Amino acid sequence: DVTYGWWAGNSRVTNRAGKFIAAHAGHTGLISFAAGASTLWELARFDPSIAMGHQSSIFLAHLASIGIGFDDAGVWTGANVASVAIVHIIASLVYAGGALSHSLLFDGDLADGPGPTTQKFKLEWDNPDNLTFILGHHLIFFGVACIAFVEWARIHGIYDPAIGAVRQVEYNLNLTNIWNHQFDFLAIDNLEDVLGGHAFLAFVEITGGAFHIATKQVGEYTEFKGAGILSAEAVLSFSLAGIG
């Protein structure tokens, strides 16, 4: 039952999972296109003789932090910057295609979706097993993203502000350090611990995701628990940002 007004976010797609997917795919496409186009815009105007902060370089600065566009000594090369931007623009077209498909071609609530697998992702707020199944997939995606970051830093390298250069980082999977830094993560002063936190988080998220997919709702189901179960990924997002 809808208990809030039409002005509330996503109220229009409350019981229409297909339209909900279309809305978010379109939103993701806009973000991806903005990232790619803005990167090309900054690249076309970038002057390596002037500090990035004085050129309002936001996207190039983020790429620099993961070692793209600069060599190991921190000297500007521009390598792969345009490629990353173009990949984002192409991805935005894929997201847009998915958004249009779900908006115009597929069933609005996925009740009559193409196959039983599609129907499993139909949001049913009064069905705890459905919610935990969807949450499990979200957790696995977060875990894979953590692994990608850890492996990128280990194989390619990321920028280390302590030495002012890009270097490869081997993660330090020290569970004691991870436990001690859960509330004072701002005190972390080395990349090895940062990557170790992400490696541990990847394991927890993928394990938890597999558990939620393979099992049903555990414990008594309440309206409060139902409202919170699909917002758990928001908390995990803050965890990712915090440990990083």
- Cβ-in-10-Å burial (0-12, 13-18, 19+) of 155 comes to exposed
Contact residues for 15 (Cβ-Cβ < 8 A; gap 6+) = 2, 109, 123
Half-sphere exposure of 201 (CA within 13 A, CB side): 31
User: 152-199 pLDDT, tens per residue?
Assistant: 999 988 888 888 888 899 999 888 888 888 778 778 888 999 999 999
pLDDT at 220: 67
Give dist(CA 155, CA 175) in Å, integer: 23
What is the residue-averaged pLDDT of the chain? 81
pLDDT at 234 over 70: no
Q: What are 114-128's pLDDT values in tens digits?
A: 666 677 777 776 777
Cα atoms in the 13 Å half-sphere on the side-chain side of 190: 12
pLDDT reading at 9 higher than 90:
no
